[in-house]
Amino acid sequence: MARIVMKFGGTSMAGIERIRNVATRVKREWDAGNDVAVVVSAMSGETDRLVNFCREASPLYDPREYDVVVASGEQVTSGLLAIVLQAMGVPARSWLGWQLPIRTSDAHASARIGSIDTDRLAAAFANREVAVIPGFQGLTDDERITTLGRGGSDTSAVAVAAAMKADRCDIYTDVDGVYTTDPRIVPKARKLDKITYEEMLELASVGAKVLQTRSVGLAMKEKVRVQVLTSFEDKPGTLIVGEEEIEGNGMERQLITGIAYDRNEAKVTLVAVPDRPGAVATIFTPLANANINVDMIVQNVAHDSGNTDVTFTVPTAELTRALDVLDKARTDIGYEKVLSDSNVCKVSVVGVGMRSHAGVAATMFAALADRKINILAISTSEIKTSVLIDADFTELAVRVLHTAYGLDAPDTAAE
């Protein structure tokens, strides 16, 4: 008998027929005598719909009330799955975030899980009951509903698995594993049997939305055994493992593990900022105080006038707030005007091989130049290089890079 967490994403939960399919998989694990906690997402499209309601209600909405609204999608699917399981003869009940509770920080819309009380889960398992837990939601110490950021059900699942010391955390989604890049835009992408926590973390953090970044960080810290697999077929998926489990084929290791893209960043340029010590602090301190994450930054050399342009990216969802913060800080910063563009995309290549090999970034720049794709900004880390490009070229850029790094699946490479 094992203790397992099964997480089902939005596509797997979209409609009663699909929820029945999910319930069949849950029943199979329960029939085998396992303790089963199921973490569910809202039906696909539902969270977007709820987010849009908030934006329509007020562009500068109160994030605490936003959380009340967007957390509701998962409440619906957790109740529905419990109903379907019961109808199949499996004792089940839903446990909302506040009922367990799942305690989080008060960073609304991107809250972090602090602790999960497992007493009620343990009691449910003792009664041979399946516990259905809505992902994405939690509760602050002062009893307000929170959400964990988009894609946060993955993090809920890993956190539940860590808290209940589960043997496995199976993340069921609409693709059959982790690929070298998004298989929906690159049909030649290759499925990976295994990927290290570190590489998955980096891929997720630059946009591979198959797992939420924080879920991978948590799995790595808590040593949770995570597998990504499809809910539509019976076949093995991708295991996220420690580096030592891949070491065996070290010689064969690809230089680059994968490529990701992120269309959810917007470019902001402050034109003619006075070039003096402390100038950039006047820009980024108020943004940090407003909890707005700045990613790529480019500061150009000063013009003759003694002014310089500063370009950076923020999450598109935060663009309105960022522009509001910059407008309020205008006198302090002293810029002439602000330009913004959300039709941009960040494309990144990731691989631990970058640590020991020169020329990885050069291959990227050359491949993009060859297709006349202009680079708007660049950022690098030890195992990643990212470029910002016009969003219209996203698919072309990802495909070209996939081929340039030799990642195309063997049977398709010659096409």
Contact set with ligand ADP (CB under 6 A): 9-11, 41, 151, 173-175, 178-179, 181-184, 208-210, 258
Stretch that binds Mg ion, among 3-11, 74-82, 276-284, 395-403 (CB under 5 A): 3-11
Give, in order, the Cα–Cα distances in Å from 383 to each of 180, 202, 377.
15, 8, 18
For position 135 contacting ligand ASP by CB under 6 A, the verdict is: yes
Among 151, 177, 315, 351, binds ligand ASP (CB under 6 A): 151
Q: Tell me which residues in 147-186 interact with Mg ion (CB under 5 A).
A: 151
Distance CA 218, CA 220 (A): 5
Among 63, 101, 152, 237, binds ligand ASP (CB under 6 A): 152
**CB atoms < 10 A from the CB of 386, how many?**
25
For position 41 contacting ligand ASP by CB under 6 A, the verdict is: yes
Distance CA 259, CA 414 (A): 20
Distance CA 255, CA 262 (A): 22
Nearer to Mg ion, 138 or 151 (CB): 151
Stretch that binds ligand ASP, among 105-113, 144-152, 285-293, 407-415 (CB under 6 A): 144-152
Nearer to ligand ADP, 40 or 325 (CB): 40
State CA 397 to chain mean position distance. Answer: 21
Stretch that binds ligand ASP, among 28-36, 146-154, 329-337, 355-363 (CB under 6 A): 146-154
Chosen from ligand ASP, Mg ion, ligand ADP, none, partner binding at 213 (C-beta under 5 to 8 Å by type): none
Structure tokens of 362?
Answer: 């050069």
The burial class, CB within 10 Å (0-12 / 13-18 / 19+), for 217 is: middle
| Order of strands, sheet of 35-40, starting from the edge strand that comes earlier in the sequence | 92-94, 130-134, 35-40, 3-8, 168-173, 226-230, 238-241, 194-196
For position 319 contacting ligand ASP by CB under 6 A, the verdict is: no
- Smallest separation (angstroms) from ligand ASP to the CB of 76: 11
For position 80 contacting ligand ASP by CB under 6 A, the verdict is: no
Evaluate whether 74 touches 137 at the Cβ level (below 8 Å). Answer: yes
Stretch that binds ligand ASP, among 151-159, 186-194, 238-246, 346-354 (CB under 6 A): 151-159
CA-nearest of 34, 60, 39, 7 to 324 is 60
Chosen from ligand ASP, Mg ion, ligand ADP, none, partner binding at 198 (C-beta under 5 to 8 Å by type): none
Nearer to ligand ADP, 35 or 182 (CB): 182
Nearer to ligand ASP, 151 or 258 (CB): 151
Whether residue 274 is preceded by a cis peptide bond, meaning omega within 30 degrees of 0, is no
Chosen from ligand ASP, ligand ADP, Mg ion, none, partner binding at 208 (C-beta under 5 to 8 Å by type): ligand ADP
Structure tokens of 137?
Answer: 């939601």
Nearer to ligand ASP, 73 or 101 (CB): 73
CA-nearest of 225, 159, 156, 165 to 35 is 165
User: Hunting for tokens 């219209």 — which residue is that?
Assistant: 392
Amino acid at position 293, single letter: N
> Which residues are CB-neighbours of 385 under 8 A, at least 6 positions away?
348, 349, 354, 360, 361, 364, 378, 379
- Smallest separation (angstroms) from ligand ASP to the CB of 154: 6
- Smallest separation (angstroms) from ligand ADP to the CB of 259: 8
CA-nearest of 309, 383, 369, 373 to 346 is 373
- Smallest separation (angstroms) from ligand ASP to the CB of 329: 30
State the residues that interact with ligand ASP by CB under 6 A.
9-10, 41-42, 47, 73, 135-136, 150-154
State the residues that interact with Mg ion by CB under 5 A.
9, 151
